[in-house]
Amino acid sequence: MKYDPPFHHTNGFWPIILVLAGLIALPWMQTDTYVRHVLILALVYAVVASNWDLSLGYGGIVNFAHLAFFAIGLYTYGISAKILGVDPWLAIILGAAVALIFAALLSIPILRLEGVYIILVTVAATQLLARIIVSQSDFTGGTSGMVLLPRLTIGDFKLSSNGRIGYYYCALALLVASTAFLYGIERSAIGRAIKALHDNKYYAISRGVSEARIRLYTLCLSAIFPALAGGFYGSYVRVASPDVFGLGFLTIILSILLVGGIATIWGSLIAAFAVTIFTEALADFGAWRDIAVAVVIIAVVVVYPGGLHAVLQECWGAFDRIKCGAIARFRRHWQAERRAMLCGAPDRLVETSFGRISVFDHGAGAQAIVMLHGNSSCKEAFYRQYAVFCQRYRVVSFDYPGHGVSPNGNPETAYALDAFARILGELVVKLDLGRPIVFGWSLGGYVALEYAARGYPLSGLAICGTSPIGKFPDDMPRAYIPTPSMELTAKRFHSPYEKNQYALHTAGTDPAIDPMIRAAVWRTDGQAREQFFNRLKTIDWPRQMRVLCESEVPFAMLNGRKDPFVNNDYCKTLPYANIWRGAPYDFAEGDHAPFLSCPEAFNTAFGEFVDGVTAHGGRFA
């Protein structure tokens, strides 16, 4: 199951709407014909370059005949509209049809080929096409090309009148259609097959993806819009010349693709404007301009292969980190009283080797209970337990780095399961907690297991919403129920919609739950999610399993029967050595967070476990 949010639920939705509104409004601010000319060129180039990404970027099919599709559109328009007298609009559509046929023919020789051979064949096919077009000078005008091609009109309105306004909107419409088309393709079954073949060809083939058929589709689908753009370009500049086969045009389109970043649609759209404006600004320098474009290409490939798209991602990442850091600082200072009221005592910052950590430490009694919260949550999640357990025990909880009101941690070191476990180890010494009972929820459950596996002092272990894993990643599909929302666990940038979804899936839907807990998702550093998930493979999972199945540590598993993620049947199959009540305990009404959704039942059960550990020595088996 693949998580695939619809477009209006993603982070890109509002930026795209804003940019589109800007592009629609732009000609009213820029009435100069030359400026509009540059913009039209940029729109056309954006169509050509972004469609090239389908074969070159997503598909990894190094198709250097892409500009031939453009040329076919251009010459089909020229020949059919000028010589055959076809209606110009129809001639543009005709160009796409001819390009489709050419793409299908082209795919025949390259179905069996790999790597550099595909480059050679496509280059050769383009050259062949160029020679044929130049040789048929009766129709195509030979090396000097065709001039005075028909203009586009709607009724009596010439698209070129009123400062080319018609052409501008026509080009914009073409770009929007092309982008919607590419976006649709990328998310469709064909798009996934294209990407799968690129990522791991043999695995994709073994799963029933036909390589030959997908290559054919890739080439044909990437041919349609460049051909339309070619026809449109012909109607706009009214010239069809063999220059479109030349190195100059190729380097411009290639530089748009590379500067924007390969395998992203949006990157080439941004780069189309940047590169076109750059080349037009240097238009007076002749050969120097082409040299500059070529140098930019080499520089991008050698120095920064991700292109503009990677730059934007990095900026967005830096902004996101600063933003969630600021939220944490704000909440630490201005919501301290609210947190103290909710939990019964104020929290404080404690210095550890992974940075400062916000710690809640309250209650009477010699025995300490440590409660560890889950991914993208906060220590206030246990507020319905503090009131009960603080009366008899010392209850300690803390926010992981990058979570709750703890400051952001160093992404290289502080965002990992074992780092969280070591923070707890340090706190146990620093706060003099003796041998605590550790309760962990979800991600916190793994932190608790890792704490135990590392041999830190411990008198009891309870987990909730956590499936013990013996072998990673092989056990994951059995341990968890595959749902689309699982992907949000490791996703760095959540859109507001996704933050909401994640909060509801983890903390439950009960409206009486304090909003502060769900708000923790907004504060969590996205890198914490991404990094801790990436580092799961470095954890010693069998060691955690040995704690459960071989050691005598008193253990309780308190899951919700309605948990959307954890596979309770899997949890019941493991041979626990010393488990409370002899088996994992389910709350009939509990979801992923039973301590929030059915607090009374949870507090009773957990209280019994704690009593069992403290009063009866913790022998359950």
Among residues 35, 97, 109, 410, the one that binds another protein under rule CB under 8 A: 109
Contacts of 18-27 spanning 24+ positions with Cβ under 8 A: 20/176, 23/172, 24/169, 24/172, 27/163, 27/165, 27/168, 27/169
Spacing of C-alpha 32 from chain mean position: 39
Please provide the DSSP assignment of 422-483 as one string: HHHHHHHHHTT--S-EEEEETHHHHHHHHHHHTT---SEEEEES----SSTTTTHHHHB---
3-state SS assignment for residue 353 = coil
3-state SS assignment for residue 486 = helix
Give the nearer residue to another protein in terms of CB position, either 124 or 322: 124
Segment near another protein (CB under 8 A); pick from 13-21, 298-306, 394-402, 505-513: 298-306
Task: Tell me, residue by residue from 192 to 231, as one string, x for binding to another protein by CB under 8 A and - for no binding.
Answer: ----------------------------------------
131 near another protein (CB under 8 A): yes
Cβ density class 164-176: b for 16+ within 10 Å, e for less? bbbbbbbbbebbb
Question: What stretch of H or E contains 595?
Answer: helix 594-597
Near another protein in 277-296, by CB under 8 A: 286-288, 290-291, 293-295
Q: Which residues pair with 358 in a beta bridge?
A: 349
3-state SS assignment for residue 142 = helix
Give the nearer residue to another protein in terms of CB position, either 70 or 456: 70
Among residues 250, 340, 350, 486, the one that binds another protein under rule CB under 8 A: 250
Closest distance of CB 132 from another protein, Å: 6
Among residues 38, 56, 197, 598, the one that binds another protein under rule CB under 8 A: 56
Q: Which residues pair with 348 in a beta bridge?
A: 359
Give the nearer residue to another protein in terms of CB position, either 110 or 469: 110
Closest distance of CB 225 from another protein, Å: 22
254 near another protein (CB under 8 A): yes
Q: Where are the alpha helices (DSSP H) in 335-398?
A: 336-343, 383-389
Give the nearer residue to another protein in terms of CB position, either 290 or 320: 290
60 near another protein (CB under 8 A): yes
Distance CA 557, CA 571 (A): 9
Task: Tell me, residue by residue from 412 to 451, as one string, x for binding to another protein by CB under 8 A and - for no binding.
Answer: ----------------------------------------
Closest distance of CB 210 from another protein, Å: 19
Segment near another protein (CB under 8 A); pick from 244-252, 344-352, 423-431, 433-441: 244-252
Q: How many residues bind another protein (CB under 8 A)?
A: 42
147 near another protein (CB under 8 A): no
**Residue 277 token pair:** 């404006």
Near another protein in 322-361, by CB under 8 A: none
Give the nearer residue to another protein in terms of CB position, either 116 or 366: 116
Among residues 93, 123, 387, 536, the one that binds another protein under rule CB under 8 A: 123
**DSSP secondary structure code for residue 156 in this structure:** T
Question: What stretch of H or E contains 587?
Answer: strand 585-587
Q: Where are the alpha helices (DSSP H) in 480-525?
A: 496-507, 515-523
Binding site for another protein (CB under 8 A): 56, 60, 62, 64, 108-109, 112-113, 115-117, 119-121, 123-125, 127-128, 131-132, 134-135, 247-248, 250-251, 254, 258, 286-288, 290-291, 293-295, 297-298, 301-302, 305
